[in-house]
Amino acid sequence: MSTGQTNRLTNSFVRKLRHGACLTAEDEVQLVDLTHTARQVAARGDIVLEGEEARGLVLVLEGWACSYRQLENGKRQIVSLFLPGDLCQPFGILPRFLDHSLGAITPVTLAQVPLPAIQAAAQASPRIAEALWWDLLVAAAVDRERVVSLGRRSAAERLGHLLCELHLRLTLVGLADETGYDLPVTQADLADLLGLSTVHVNRSLMDLRGAGLITLKGRRLAFRDLAGLRAASFFDTTYLHLDGAKPT
């Protein structure tokens, strides 16, 4: 209850979608209604395993989750990170089977949204449709940025860029401010996300600390020089298409 209040009037999903379209009070009620089938999964628990059939859209209401692939050689790659308010699949179709697994990082609260229900909501309200499409666009932009990082950025740049990205995404749902945010992932998780070894993640983290850019104690990430961090990791603050946002 401390990290993100879920009640009948709003939740992280709605808080995020407000940035994508000018939702009416009625729209918000419709969206919250989609999320009433809540389900808990413990930290590091499985949500859906690769090869399973999807039984509905998975929506993260609280906590952090991720999609990942477990490789034949024992390595793991996290494909996407899902924060509160994030939909784990595109909202218009369900695959016959998943080509990746979904797992919890922290304890998570999930909603399992039936595809027909969300489609009906999008049909009924052009603002909901717009917000959902905007969300899909943002998710795609985040994924593109990950490709760029993995392909062409150094370890420290990747790390810094990720920290900036998370800052922006968490701010959207009210879970971060200018000073920093809770970063409830292990260095091994970061390694699987960034395509690095845990040892090198640790050293890159040291570099960022040594450069006076961040502080990371326990699970709290604090910025000491946000502008400097953004510059050092070539982070472009406009990349989430927030210009279409209607801040509440």
Partner DNA sequence: CGGTTGCTTGAGATCCATCAATAGGAGTGG
Partner DNA sequence: CCACTCCTATTGATGGATCTCAAGCAACCG
Q: Which residues bind DNA (CB under 7 A)?
A: 154-156, 186-188, 195-200, 202-206, 218
- Member of 1, 147, 218, 248 binding a copy of itself (CB under 8 A): 147
Query: Which range in 40-48, 70-78, 106-114, 206-214 contacts a copy of itself by CB under 8 A?
Result: 70-78
Nearer to DNA, 42 or 227 (CB): 42
- Member of 15, 18, 100, 161 binding a copy of itself (CB under 8 A): 100
Name 111's bridge partners: 38, 59
Burial code (b: 16+ CB inside 10 Å, e: under 16) for 106-136 equals: bbbbbbbbebeebeebbeebebbbbbbbbbb
Q: Which of residues 9-68 bind a copy of itself (CB under 8 A)?
A: 67
- Member of 2, 96, 218, 248 binding a copy of itself (CB under 8 A): 96
Residues with Cβ within 8 Å of residue 73, at least 6 apart in sequence: none
Please count the other Cβ atoms lying within 10 Å of the Cβ belonging to residue 201: 22
Nearer to a copy of itself, 18 or 146 (CB): 146
Question: What's the burial of 50, exposed, middle or buried (CB within 10 Å: 0-12/13-18/19+)?
Answer: middle
Radius of gyration of the chain (CA): 18
* Residue 219 engages a copy of itself in binding (rule: CB under 8 A): no
* Residue 200 engages a copy of itself in binding (rule: CB under 8 A): no
Please choose which of a copy of itself, DNA, none residue 92 contacts, taking the beta carbon within 5 to 8 angstroms, the exact cut-off set by kind.
a copy of itself
Helix (H, G, I), strand (E, B) or coil at 73: coil
Residues with Cβ within 8 Å of residue 75, at least 6 apart in sequence: none
What single-letter DSSP state applies at residue 93? -
Least Å distance, CB 48 to a copy of itself, is: 15
- Give the tokens for residue 141: 């932009």
Separation CA 57–CA 28 (nearest Å):
18
* Residue 228 engages a copy of itself in binding (rule: CB under 8 A): no
Separation CA 6–CA 118 (nearest Å):
19
Q: Which of residues 170-199 bind a copy of itself (CB under 8 A)?
A: 192, 194-195
Please choose which of a copy of itself, DNA, none residue 147 contacts, taking the beta carbon within 5 to 8 angstroms, the exact cut-off set by kind.
a copy of itself
Point out which residues bind a copy of itself (CB under 8 A). Answer: 67, 69, 71-73, 75-77, 79-80, 90, 92-93, 95-97, 99-100, 129-130, 133-134, 136-137, 140-141, 143-144, 146-148, 150-153, 192, 194-195, 234, 236, 238-239, 241, 243-244
